[in-house]
Structure 1
């Protein structure tokens, strides 16, 4: 398992497919924190929300990194097929943690905080960013690891799903009553914005979405797609 995770990390690193999303995210962070005086909570709220589509981007790249022949070779060396999936998820959380480091390091470099950083601020930072990393892995994995929308429409489906999640509340208001149930399938972005009082809902969604990813991956492998 460790060898598989190490291989996936090194393979993704040497593929250089992480450079574009990371570079754009860091550039955005520098532009965001260039304007000093904004409260820390507002900074963290914006940086975590913008992290969301970048994690979807990385998840799409990592999820579809191997060709079918490479994947078959990796699966043959894995103790079980689920190890391949679990390895992908672990690597994605690891990459997400790397993005978080930049999220907290850039404002320190620029001196962008207008107030002292407290324990409450740090916990808020961790909660918001980890939540959006979980959401991003779910959407990226759904349309890459499981190939739910097929190769042709996977990026379009991921973009629509991500955009719909960000505007979830407004979408819920305009949808006809018989389609409102679709809004509950989307990541609860508004629950993250409401604070830790809705953390149970966020945690439950991340756990259930990752479990569903696992089930869909197994179904895909059994069908031999």
Structure 2
């Protein structure tokens, strides 16, 4: 039943044609970005991570907007539980993220765009970064799709504000340390980008501590969104 729902969601997403703007923009940007060869490895992957973050937020909001309230209630009746509806949406988003992440990772390798040959550590960090930036995008899109924001336009403005501040949070905290605690609820993108350096890469204690926080943050956000989803459906 759940597998059928996932196939139905993918089919609905394709038929809606809402996939065209975000996917076209992302793929076009990747092609344009790697027009020239000899670019640094990790800095380039950092840019595509941020791009994936933006696009997956867009995709997630589109996927959650596929059904109206009446159709959603009908699906609730057909599925074993409301939880399957939510997880089905997330699986669809993650499948799309895998495709886009694969393109972002492999395209520059096929074109030999980097100024040096990527090593295992480069590729491992790049996979890690693209994975969690996609997760952050899905979480942000899911959060605002399930929040009680009456105006769709206001929801999109809120999304753009959250994305902009989360990307710039390291610089903001550098100016005023008090913002470290104020910005704590935002996706910890700086904890990932911090390790995307083109200098000698070292995966040490700092990396694992940041990774632990990223995983913990993602898990807590999942619980919050699940709670929001159930409360919204009441």
TM-score norm. by structure 1 comes to 0.91
Shift of 1:36: 1.3
1:212 aligns with 2:224: yes
Match of 2:201 in 1: none
Partners of 1:25 and 1:61 lie apart in 2 by 15
Shift of 1:113: 2.2
Shift of 1:216: 0.8
Task: Note if contact 2:148-2:232 (Cα within 8 Å) is conserved in structure 1.
Answer: no
Match of 2:101 in 1: 100
Please give the residue correspondences for 1:13-92 in structure 2 after superposition, counting only pairs within 5 Å.
13-92=14-93
Task: Note if contact 2:166-2:189 (Cα within 8 Å) is conserved in structure 1.
Answer: yes
Please give the residue correspondences for 1:162-173 in structure 2 after superposition, counting only pairs within 5 Å.
162-173=163-174
Partners of 2:28 and 2:11 lie apart in 1 by 24
Partners of 1:168 and 1:62 lie apart in 2 by 28
Partners of 2:150 and 2:161 lie apart in 1 by 15
Partners of 1:168 and 1:73 lie apart in 2 by 41
**Which blocks of at least 5 consecutive residues in structure 1 are unaligned?**
none
* Greater helix proportion: 1
Please give the residue correspondences for 1:152-171 in structure 2 after superposition, counting only pairs within 5 Å.
152=152, 153-171=154-172
Write out per-residue CA displacement over residues 92-132 of structure 1, whole angstroms, 9 at most, x where no aligned residue: 11111111121023213433122223222221111000110
Regions of 4+ moved over 6 Å: none
Compute the RMSD of aligned alpha carbons. Answer: 1.7
Shift of 1:173: 4.7
TM-score norm. by structure 2 comes to 0.88
